[in-house]
Amino acid sequence: GENVEQHPSTLSVQEGDSAVIKCTYSDSASNYFPWYKQELGKGPQLIIDIRSNVGEKKDQRIAVTLNKTAKHFSLHITETQPEDSAVYFCAAKVLYNNNDMRFGAGTRLTVKP
Residues facing 111 on adjacent strands: 13
Cα-Cα-Cα-Cα dihedral sign, residues 14, 15, 20, 21:
positive
| Candidate residues 2, 20, 32, 71; the one interacting with other proteins per rule CB under 8 A | 32
Q: Does residue number 106 form part of the binding site for other proteins (CB under 8 A)? A: yes
Q: Does residue number 103 form part of the binding site for other proteins (CB under 8 A)? A: yes
Question: What is the spatial distance between Cα 95 and Cα 93, in angstroms, rounded to a whole number?
Answer: 6
Return the range that interacts with other proteins (CB under 8 A); candidates 14-22, 61-69, 75-83, 101-109.
Answer: 101-109
Q: Does residue number 45 form part of the binding site for other proteins (CB under 8 A)? A: yes
